[in-house]
Each structure stands twice: as C-alpha cells, then as structure tokens.
Structure 1
Amino acid sequence: MSAVAESNVVGNSGCGFAEYPIFRKARPDRTVEDILADIQHAADLPLAQGIPLPAEAYTTEAFYNWEVENVLRAEWLCLAHRSQIPNPGDFLNIDILGEPLIVVHGKDGQIRVLSRVCPHRAMDIMPPGFGYDGHGPADAREGGAGCGHTRLFLCPYHHWSFELDGSLKACPEMQNAEGFRRDDYALTTFRSELWNGFIFVNLDGKAGSLEANMTDLTSDLAGWDMSKMKVVIEREWDCPFNWKVLIENFMEPYHHLGAHCRTLQPLMPAKDTWTSGERAHSIRVNTPLKEAALSEMRQQYADGTTEGFPLIPTLPPEHQVQWSAYLSYPTFLLFGGPDRMIWYRLDPITTDRSRLITTTLVNEEALAAPDFEKRKAAAEKMMIDFHLEDMEVCTAVQRGFYSTGYRRGRLSHLEMPIWLIERYLAARSRNTWPTYDRPAAPSQR
C-alpha cells in the first residue's frame, strides 16, 4: 500500500515549529452515507459506551464537502468582534469557505458583510496587501492582517468603485453598454447578525435566528458583557488538521492530564471538570480552579502581585472560581475566566487544514490599568504556551487518522463534549438539532 507524505508546518508568523509529515494512505474511503450511518450509531450509544467519530470523518474529502454544504455554510459563523472595526470606514478582509469577504462598519453605523468579488469581472477588490502599493483609497491600520480603513471600495482592475454599503458608486466607460443599470451591480451582501458584540455570517442565508440559537449562551455569559469588551491579543495559526480535531480538543478537558500537564492541569485538574446538560445549539464545560490555585490567585490580587487583568466585578460567584469552555455550533469557541474572555475564530479550509485566530478580550477597566501592557504580555504568553501544546497533539492526531494502525477507542466520561458533538452531527444529518427528536442528555452535576 503506497503512502504520500506531505510536510506541514505548524505555526504562525514569528513562531517556529517542528515540521510534521502527514502520511495519506491510499485506501478506499467509505461513502458519505456510510460515514453518516456510523456517526448516527455512535451518537445513539450512551456515553458510558461511547466511541469517537470514525477516522473517515476527518480524512474524506466527500464528507468534508457534505459538512461545508450542510453544516458550515448552512449555519452561523463568527467572523469578528465589533471592537475590531470601531469606526465608520473600518473593515476586515476575511476569507472563509472559499468566500472572500469584507466585514465593514458603514457610514450609517451599520455592520455589513459584503463579498469582495467585483460583479464586473470577478476581481477580488481587496487582494492581499490592499491591492497595488499606493493604489486606491484604502489604508492598512493596526489590528492585524487584512485590517483597514477606507471611504469607499475601489476595484483595482477597472476602477469600478463601491460605497461602504456595497452599492455601485461609479463605473467608468460603461455608457455604451445597452440596458446597463448601476443599481443592478452592487457587491453581494451576505446575511449577518450581531450577538454580544460578535459579528456572525450565514453564507447560504437560510439559517434560523441567531438570537434564538444563542439563548443559553446569552444567559451563561451575561456577566462578561462582551459587547463592551475589546480584542487586545490576536495570533494566527496554520493548522494541518481537520476543523473538528480542534473543536473536540478545545472542548474536552480530559487532555489536561496529558497535553496540559504543566500548564492547565495544575490549575484546573481534569478530574474536577464536568459538562452541563445537552443543549440544541451549544455545549458548556465547567473547569473549576483547584483550591490551592484559587487561594493563590486571591492572595496575588490582594497584595498586588498578580499578572492577571482586573477581576470582572459583574461575574456571578460561579464564574469567579472557574473557567468555562463554550461551543456554539458549529465553530464558535469561547473560554471565559474571572478576568478575560478567550475567543478562537476557526476557519475550515480543507479536509485536513484549518486557519485559527486565537484572541483575548478584556474590559475597559483592564485597558485603563497603568501596567496593562505588562499584563497583556503575560496573558499572551499563557495563551501561546497552552496552545502550542494543543497544536502538537492535534497535528499528531490528524496523522493518526490516516494510519491503518489506528483502532477506534472508547470515550472517557470527561470526553462528554466529543459525544455531544457526535450527537450534533447526527442530528444535522437528520435535518434537525440535538434534543429536538431525542431526549436531552443530563448534566454531569
């Protein structure tokens, strides 16, 4: 049996990582229908008998294409936080699932998600680097790659220009085109909604209400008041693994024992974690701080030696003594602590490649602290340290899925989130949601 090795570099700009070859075994893959039937079988097992998803769910191009059409494009995907485009004219260029997009703060104060594809000849009106040097009205600004400010959008190919709401403003030398009407050639507007300061898009335009989907998380996360928080740390990572590998790893706390034995496990031991009851649109995992770590944190805040941000005073007692991980299906990931919110923006690219942007949000009190930059540096180091551990294991897991030596294991009770994700995928294959046509799984506490 032949094997093709492809070298993948794990990392982001400014950080070097080891190279990991992925060996793709030339073996016949099961059909999408076979894989979905397997997922349904696994989802119907009780957690005590739980098994992971089949390897083909992470390696088969046809299955990934099914996910793109039936899960990813069909549901709400988070693109940005409003703090990243605070002023009229601010915009972000984002590519997701093959769609080149602009997230723009309009002159009328509205946030829109527009296509970057010019309706004239399919030119990307904001190619990397904002077009040619010195060309057009858009200026790059601080805030990461693809972040800019402009008064209008100008296609560098034939100088068609567009207002910030996407309407066609001017199109030179089109007077001889019979029946041509400028109103017919606006940039495509994608359906978007705001929740808690986050900007979501639904690419196929058919998803249900975002607000209704977020009912549970709205209650869970009210204490952070994220609409008033700001993104202060942003790191981009090239991930040579399937998007679900990252989602599962983010949500299950069992791997604190191994991958995070020096970082998270001493603070929030795996054995103390638990998953809340099953929901239709989200998962919540509770990771209480170890009593010794909690006592040390309180002492550091009392004597002014903490490296953390100021504690968020509006958090209820339960969130003052633990961190909590959240997934809003399919890809919106949050990890909330007593002093900050960590948000992962995940962009699936291919069967075994994803782009990840890890961010940290803080409130105005944290920004106003005189030693904010020092605390920010400590927070960034912490985030990078535990994420490097995740990158290594996720990359190795993807390699393992291609191996004929892989034997599908069993799930620990601490991996309840993986089982819930299986139940979510199974429900979507039935064109419904978890808990709609099956009893909801109870909380572990």
Structure 2
Amino acid sequence: MTDATDMTGHHRGTPVPALLEELRRLAALPLERGETLPPEAYTSPEWYGREIERIFRKEWLCVARADEVPEPGSYLRLDVLGTPLVITRDEGGELHALSRVCRHRFMDVLPPENTPGKGSLKRLVCPYHTWTYRLNGRYAGQLAGAPLMHGVEFERASCRLPAYRLAVWNGFVLLSLDPRAPSPDAGLAGLDRVLAGYGLDRWESVVTLAWEDVPANWKVAVENGSENYHHMGTHAATLEPVLPGKDTRVDACDGRWFTMFTPFAAAPGERRPEDGEEAPGLLIAGIFPQFVLAVLRDSAVWIRWLPTGPASHDARLTALVPPGASGAPGFTDSLEEVRRQLTLIQEEDLVAIRGVQRGLNSRPAPSNGRFSHLERPLWQFQRYLAERLL
C-alpha cells in the first residue's frame, strides 16, 4: 500500500474503502502468513469512526466488576465513549446503568469535579437545579422531584434518565449501548468452560488503577495485552524471568475470545511436571474488543481499554483475589506491593504502546509486519475486526 500525499506533500492517508479491502485480504491469510494491520488502521479518524459505530456502539463491553457496586444504594460512575453513565444497585439487588445527564438542562448529575467516583446514595440529585431521580427497582431513573416547576406543562411521569442494557458474566459487568445487541454470552461457552474452576464470580476487587488519555490507538494497547511474546523485551527484568514468553501455549480459539497459558519458570533443581500433570502458571483470557484477564490460582488482574479518540485511550487495571483472601493477616499491608507491581508492569507496557504509536505515525509509512506463532490472538483479532467492519 502506498503512502498517498496531496499536491503540497502533506500525508492524506489511505481511503477507508482501500483499508477495508486490505482488512479483507489480511483476514483471509493463514497464521503462518499473517501480517499486521496497515498503519492507517491505527491513525485514520475515518477508520476510527467506523470502529466506534460498528463495534463499540454495538458490542457488549466489559466495564466493571459487580462487587464495585456491592449493596442497595451503591453507585459507580463511568464514562463510555463520551457517554456519562452511572451503575446503581436497587433494593432487590439488581444492577442498572443510567445516563448521568439531567433531563432539565443537560447537567452531569455526578460531576467528577466534586463527586466521588463511587459511593452510596438514596436518589440521584442534580447539583444544578436539584432535579431528583429515583433508583428503586423498575422506577430507576424516573423523575421524583422538580422544584419550582409548578405551572409548567411537561409529562413528569415519562421523564426519566435513559437506561442501558447490563449483564453480569463471571462477576464482570457487561454493558451495551445497543438495545438490539444479541445475548452477551453468545459464543462464550468455551471460555466459560476454561474459567469454570476458578469461581471468578465470587472474587473480590482489591486494587484499581487508571491511566487516562494514553496517547495511542486502542488497538495498540489491546494487541500488546493479547500476547506474551513481548515479555522477553518489554518485561525482560520483571515478567520474563518468572513467566518466559517463549513457553506460552496459545490455544487454537476462534471468534470473540482467546486463551493462552504460560507456566512458571522452573527454579534450578525443581521437579518438572510429569505428563498429564498441570504445571502452575498464568492463564490469559481475552474477549474482543477491549477485555483481557490474567489469572493465577491466588490472584488475578483484569484490564479494560476504552478509546477516547483515534490516537488515545483510557486503561483501567483491577486486581482480584479469591473469597476470604482479603481477611488474611497482613493482607492490607500487601496491597501497596500489589499497587507497585501493577504500576511497574503497566508503565513498562506504556513505553511499548507509546513507542508503537510513534512508529505508526512515521513517514513514509512502515510496511506490514509478520506474526509470530505467539501472536495468534492478534491474527484472530483481525478476523474479528473483519466480521464487524466489512
């Protein structure tokens, strides 16, 4: 593919129809001949707009853990693709996803400037003109009070905050902005079988860290988190000595999810597992377009990425532990070490993610690269993109 320029020599980029044809070609390649997406797929505003409309506004997105909204009255503030949202739990234990935009004058009812991102409340009260909205059961989001509006003709009974579809899968909260989206667990039966032995629905969130407006396309981050090939470079002094990327077994998955497993490096003199004996190690599971889970027997980390522009995204990492682990002696003191390790690994990844985005923006545009067998999920990701974008 050539690097098109206008008469002044400025880069014009490859038109979207040509990019779609290139995606069609790439998605048809076998893994052993697989190539990376062209750079414009990570930089083009027009291509990004197509992804937002055909993927992010239609897919089920993993946005939180159910235990982050633990009891009736709890809330969690979210922003998804520029849509201000709040997740609440009603008196019957049901979760609701509501718009945070007041129906009066468009005010954010939970402004981040002076409102905690999570907490507990009985009703949503807009801080602008104190319009109030209910949070109980089937009335969640309905207008409960509009002071000094007597004599004004408007249908109070039908005035309510828009609601969005939610589902809970293995303790993760899935959200769809599309009221016609198919079942959230469609095609995930195989992944459910892989995760069944962990009982993740009962695990507890203990540490959450966030990085906002990372200067890289969302796919760069997702692809980085979907392969362990980069352990030997990016994490040479941290993950690689413990979880060697070369030892990763990448499973032959298809569709919207993938799995891989990396055994722990054996210490000198340590007995190797025999045939049929499961080696301890790290399970990585991902669901396209924006969720990756890394699971050990005694802890896990899940990552969600959400695009904020053609060349920026938000990243959120949360550490989980099995039931009862947080009550063990010394656990609270250990959380600081968990934060340190998560921050260290993420900062190492951000060096790579930012560096890749700089390379994508170079001129002349770099040619397509080739995939290692350890990058099978990236090859699979292309096929997923083709299904949604073509």
TM-score by length of 1: 0.80
The C-alpha deviation readout for 1:38-70, integer Å capped at 9, x for no partner, is 111111111111110110111011111100010
1:76 aligned to which of 37, 55, 60:
60
The C-alpha deviation readout for 1:191-228, integer Å capped at 9, x for no partner, is 11111111111012222111234322211112221221
With over 3 angstroms needed to count, the CA separation of the structure-2 counterparts of 1:374 and 1:220, relative to structure 1, is same
Q: Distance in 2 between matches of 1:340 and 1:377?
A: 15
State the partner residue of 1:127: 111
State the partner residue of 2:82: 98
- Structure 2 SS opposite 1:416: helix
Say yes or no: does 1:163 pair with 2:134. yes
State the partner residue of 1:236: 210
8 Å contact from structure 1 (residues 267, 293) kept in 2: no
State the partner residue of 1:222: 196
- Structure 1 SS opposite 2:197: helix
Q: Distance in 2 between matches of 1:246 and 1:220?
A: 24
Q: Distance in 1 between matches of 2:277 and 2:192?
A: 17
Matched ranges for 1:38-437 at <5 A: 38-130=22-114, 140=116, 146-164=117-135, 165-178=140-153, 180-238=154-212, 239-292=214-267, 295=270, 318=278, 321-405=280-364, 406-430=366-390
State the partner residue of 1:36: 20
The one-letter code of the counterpart of 1:187 is L
With over 3 angstroms needed to count, the CA separation of the structure-2 counterparts of 1:99 and 1:295, relative to structure 1, is farther
State the partner residue of 1:10: none
The C-alpha deviation readout for 1:241-265, integer Å capped at 9, x for no partner, is 1111111000111111111111111
8 Å contact from structure 2 (residues 34, 371) kept in 1: yes
With over 3 angstroms needed to count, the CA separation of the structure-2 counterparts of 1:90 and 1:224, relative to structure 1, is same
Q: Distance in 2 between matches of 1:352 and 1:410?
A: 23
Q: CA deviation at 1:107?
A: 2.5
8 Å contact from structure 2 (residues 282, 295) kept in 1: yes
The C-alpha deviation readout for 1:73-118, integer Å capped at 9, x for no partner, is 1101112111111111111111110100001112232111000011
The C-alpha deviation readout for 1:363-387, integer Å capped at 9, x for no partner, is 2231121011233233322222222
Q: CA deviation at 1:172?
A: 1.8
Q: Distance in 2 between matches of 1:30 and 1:147?
A: 43
TM-score by length of 2: 0.91
Q: Which runs of 5+ in 1 are unaligned?
A: 2-24, 132-139, 141-145, 299-315, 431-445
8 Å contact from structure 2 (residues 209, 317) kept in 1: yes
Q: Distance in 1 between matches of 2:277 and 2:210?
A: 33
Q: Distance in 2 between matches of 1:343 and 1:287?
A: 16
With over 3 angstroms needed to count, the CA separation of the structure-2 counterparts of 1:294 and 1:71, relative to structure 1, is farther
The one-letter code of the counterpart of 2:197 is G
Q: Distance in 2 between matches of 1:427 and 1:88?
A: 40
The one-letter code of the counterpart of 1:153 is L
Runs (4+) off by over 4 Å: 293-296
Q: Which runs of 5+ in 2 are unaligned?
A: 4-8
Q: Distance in 1 between matches of 2:342 and 2:101?
A: 35
8 Å contact from structure 1 (residues 294, 321) kept in 2: no
The C-alpha deviation readout for 1:328-361, integer Å capped at 9, x for no partner, is 1111211111211101121210011111111100
The C-alpha deviation readout for 1:235-294, integer Å capped at 9, x for no partner, is 111311111111100011111111111111111212211211122220112212222289
The one-letter code of the counterpart of 1:102 is V
Q: Distance in 2 between matches of 1:63 and 1:341?
A: 34
- Structure 1 SS opposite 2:303: strand
- Structure 1 SS opposite 2:267: helix
With over 3 angstroms needed to count, the CA separation of the structure-2 counterparts of 1:278 and 1:96, relative to structure 1, is same
- Structure 2 SS opposite 1:364: coil
The C-alpha deviation readout for 1:2-46, integer Å capped at 9, x for no partner, is xxxxxxxxxxxxxxxxxxxxxxx9411222222121111111111
With over 3 angstroms needed to count, the CA separation of the structure-2 counterparts of 1:364 and 1:174, relative to structure 1, is same
After alignment, is 102-111 or 285-294 more displaced?
A: 285-294
Q: CA deviation at 1:317?
A: 6.7
Matched ranges for 1:4-19 at <5 A: none
The one-letter code of the counterpart of 2:232 is L
With over 3 angstroms needed to count, the CA separation of the structure-2 counterparts of 1:63 and 1:251, relative to structure 1, is same
May I ask how many residue pairs the two structures share in their alignment? 375
The one-letter code of the counterpart of 1:32 is V
Q: Distance in 2 between matches of 1:241 and 1:182?
A: 44
State the partner residue of 1:302: none
8 Å contact from structure 1 (residues 349, 355) kept in 2: yes
- Structure 1 SS opposite 2:186: helix
Q: Distance in 1 between matches of 2:309 and 2:233?
A: 28
State the partner residue of 2:6: none
With over 3 angstroms needed to count, the CA separation of the structure-2 counterparts of 1:335 and 1:294, relative to structure 1, is farther
With over 3 angstroms needed to count, the CA separation of the structure-2 counterparts of 1:381 and 1:30, relative to structure 1, is same
